[in-house]
Chain A
Amino acid sequence: MKLKLGVLLLAIVFWSSSTVSAAETKDWREGLPFNLHGFIEGGLGIRTQNDPNQHHDVNYSELRLQLEASKALESVEFKLRLDLFRDEALHEFNSDLREAHATFTPSDILDLKVGRQILTWGTGDLIFLNDLFPKDFQSFFIGREESYLKAPSNSVKSSFFFEMFNLDLVWNPLFNSDRFVNGERLSFFNPFLGRKTGEREEMSSREPETWFKDSEIHLRAFKNVKGYELALYGYYGFFKNPGGFNPAGEAVFPRLAVYGASVRGNVLKGIGNLEIAYYDSLKDPRGTNPNVNNSQFRFLMGYSQELLTNFNIGFQYYLEHMVQHNRFMANLPPGAFAQDENRHTFTVRLTQMLMQQNLRLSLFTFYVPSDGEAYLRPIVDYKVSDAWSATVGANLFAGDGQSTFFGQLDDNSNLYARVRYSY
């Protein structure tokens, strides 16, 4: 049933395209008092295996309209980007306000961006150390377009540009959590229950929800020295996805501070980057509370290069080191899953462009030898025309451990296709 609807949605997108194209000779937007752009997209994804914790094999089936309106006045710019979609996997109409903000420059050295916005910094490729802006892993793992990995936050971003260095200060008056895997579409390992759970047992969570008291602060000081980008970071807020459980079994978001640094620039014939971060678990400074995540040291190094014409390769090594592992082990309740002291992750990104760069083949692989798990993201993109693009891809999870990061998702491996018309 869902599958049929998905196919229908795709058909509608195709159909609408022909009408829109026909109308394109004269731009229908002329006369609007603002700029209007966006896309219409149909997407469909199915699990490649049965998941005992989910009713349906289709976990992504939607028709999405994105509206992006922007207007620039003398001293201020406004932007609104809104997604409206029929989500056939959850049988609902839904919306996602991606951006709604105003940008202005009160002084030569200051830019202010106020409102709902997407924020990104740091040097990793799909790995984030000092970027504690909200992520949407659910979208990422079911096959939505890659930019949906970043979720919006409601923020005031102040950017100062001094002679010596630049400073970004982002204040979120209310904590914005990640859109984490909670069982709704993707099954996961619930450590409180000690087993995998799906749509029947969605994780209940208790988020910090008091305006101003539960605010977040993100800081970045940065400087470009002869093409090498140096940055220092700070964060004061909460774990962005559940970092523990309360006695009622609800996932909670304990206090977190993060301090870090990064550098990025040309190395040999490619780009090298290095980033470190210390995750200071403020509610469990001694590392003895088994219900709150321990502090961690994180380290990332990466290198990418165009190896051959139109063929790119990128490598990353990423380490998560638990700081007080012995105390963690000493306080671990019997039968609970024991994390290793070090979690090593390797990633490889391969990208091949073909047909005058209209066809892109890419494969991103996460491999975590310490947990015996892997995650593969093969994607084929084809630009049919300037307006039309088609994508086929897969999210493939493999791992023995039912509680490890990717291993717990192994029932969720999926194939998906998307067709997009941009206007």
Chain B
Amino acid sequence: MENFKLRNLFLVAGMLIAGWFAGPTSECAAQEKSLSVQEIVDRSNLAAYYQGNDGRAEVNMTITDAQGRTRERRFTILRRDTKDGGEQKFYVHFSRPADVRNTVFMVWKNIGKSDDRWLYLPALDLVKRIAASDKRTSFVGSHFFYEDVSGRNPDDDKHELTETTGQYYVLKNSPNNPDEVEFSYYQLWLDKQNFLPIKAEYYDKNNKKYRMVEALKIETIQGHPTVTEARVTDLASGGNTVSVFSEIQYDLGIEDSIFTERYLRRTPRRWLK
């Protein structure tokens, strides 16, 4: 049962360590107006998803449904960049809820071909492979999509700078392949200082806003502005998920070998508290 829930983890993975909460370090200086849309998008992608060479975080997710019932997901995530702006590897180790404790999800994020994803189920000592085709399904039952977290490939959308305010670049992003996604476009607010995505609003085919992703809290960690609290709201159903990131560290020197079958079957305790 876990398999399907966990399948979309890599999205969160990205978000956690790389994405929403990891901002650019050295690019805080105010940007010139002359930046092209492509430059803004590229900077945001790099800034948001490739901070440091590696990183780790503890993540606490609270999923609230329309009736107000809550569920919790707690996990540690490790990330290592193979190449800045390119391939990355993620390792996600669950500690809660009890029935998925010690379950591990691992992703090798590829560029130009499908990601490789694995799931380890401890009760069976089973290493499973998981297909990575649909990136816009719920990540571990939360309102986050896989793709919110790992980062949507910038080349999958057409980008349009609709507004530049004192604080934000506002982009309208329309999919190149509308059939592959559930939105017709989304608006993205990027912080002009650090290029972190601060808010995203998704619109359906009837031009109705149905989904929102927000950065609720930003802290600077090892010089990297980092989103430490984020929320996804499903405006259609009324549910939401809040993720709180703690114990964040960058540039730990996490070895590439951690992201292999050896450590799926055996918890790399050194990196998990």
Contact = CB atoms under 8 A, between A and B. Distances in A.
Contacts of A387: 97-98
Interface residues of B, number: 45
Interface string B94-118: 0011110100000010100110100
B65 A271 contact: no
A422 B99 contact: yes
A356 interface: yes
Interface string A44-81: 00000000000000000000000000001000010000
A128 to B, nearest CB: 11
A306 B137 contact: yes
B260 interface: yes
Q: Which one of A120, A166, A273, A423 has the highest number of Cβ atoms from chain B below 10 Å of its Cβ?
A: A120
A72 B125 CA distance: 19
Contact of A360 (B4, B113, B134): B4
Nearest to B101: A37
A356 B97 contact: no
A269 B71 contact: no
In the A-B complex, the 4 residue pairs with the smallest Cβ-Cβ separation, listed nearest first, are A386-B97, A422-B98, A227-B116, A147-B123
B43 interface: no
A150 B65 CA distance: 35
Nearest to A125: B128
Contacts of A192: none
Nearest to A105: B266
A118 B116 contact: no
B125 A266 contact: no
Contacts of B98: 37, 39, 386-387, 422-423
A381 B1 contact: yes
Interface string B36-78: 0000000000000000000000000001010001011000000
Contacts, number: 112
Contacts of B108: 227
B239 interface: yes
Contacts of B126: 120
B130 A150 contact: no
Contact of B1 (A150, A308, A360): A360
A269 B136 contact: no
A22 to B, nearest CB: 17
A120 B124 contact: yes
A249 to B, nearest CB: 35
A118 B124 contact: yes
Contact of A224 (B71, B125, B130, B261): B261
Given A120-B126, A306-B131, A306-B137, A72 B113 contact: no
A103 B263 CA distance: 13
A421 to B, nearest CB: 9
A111 interface: yes
Interface in B174-208: none
A264 B167 CA distance: 48
A353 interface: yes
A159 B124 contact: no
A356 B144 CA distance: 11
Given A147-B121, A270-B131, A305-B131, A353 B261 contact: no
B269 interface: yes
A308 B136 CA distance: 11
Contact of A270 (B63, B97, B124, B133): B133
Q: Which one of B63, B133, B143 has the highest number of Cβ atoms from chain A below 10 Å of its Cβ?
A: B133
